[in-house]
């Protein structure tokens, strides 16, 4: 085989590996919200359909994730003024003990839920992951990584999606 052919082959392999990792860590999984398997902070099964008719932001987070903590703090700061009619739902795959500690330490007025699986089991490999959900419980936007809620153009775009 010629050196050019080997280099082309290696370039193709590198491109495929890059596409794989981009899709794994930068593209939000296509979720079926009613199939997530969630419990509330008391361990009781949570029916996501109770959110039907509401504007919802779902944030998949972990208490150790710096970007998650920063994003939730910004959402909390703008919630009352900018997102007063939006339900903020925070979902973790950590233990109920960690969920409840995080909830009590932050005092955020959000709904906190626990996923009965690990994030990778539903295709989440990088957090935070945010889903904007309309009143019909349809996902209208998803974002892997920090979402700049304090940017007026981002916030206006999101509000328009509901």
pLDDT band at 18 (very low <50, low <70, confident <90, very high): low
What gap in Å lies between CA 66 and CA 69, rounded to an integer?
5
Distance (Å) of CA 40 to CA 54, 57, 82, 114? 18, 16, 26, 6
- pLDDT per residue as tens digits for the range 123-144: 988 889 999 999 999 999 888 8
> CATH fold of 31-161, please?
Glutaredoxin (3.40.30)
- pLDDT per residue as tens digits for the range 54-101: 999 999 999 999 999 999 999 999 998 988 999 999 999 999 999 999
pTM as predicted:
0.82
């Amino acid at each position: 085989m010629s050196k050019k052919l080997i280099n082309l082959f290696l370039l193709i392999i590198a491109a495929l590996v890059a596409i794989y990792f981009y899709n794994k860590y930068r593209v939000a999984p296509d979720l079926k919200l009613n199939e997530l398997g969630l419990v509330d902070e008391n361990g009781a099964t949570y029916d996501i359909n109770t959110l039907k008719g509401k504007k919802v932001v779902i944030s998949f987070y972990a208490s150790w994730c710096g970007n998650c903590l920063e994003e939730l703090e910004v959402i909390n700061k703008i919630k009352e003024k900018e997102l007063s009619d939006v339900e903020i739902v925070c979902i973790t795959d950590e233990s109920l003990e960690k969920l409840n500690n995080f909830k009590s330490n932050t005092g955020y007025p959000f709904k906190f839920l626990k996923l009965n699986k690990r994030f990778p089991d539903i295709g989440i490999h990088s957090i935070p992951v945010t889903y904007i959900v309309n009143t019909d419980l349809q996902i209208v936007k998803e974002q892997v990584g920090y979402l700049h809620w304090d940017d007026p153009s981002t916030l206006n775009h999101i509000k328009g999606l509901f």
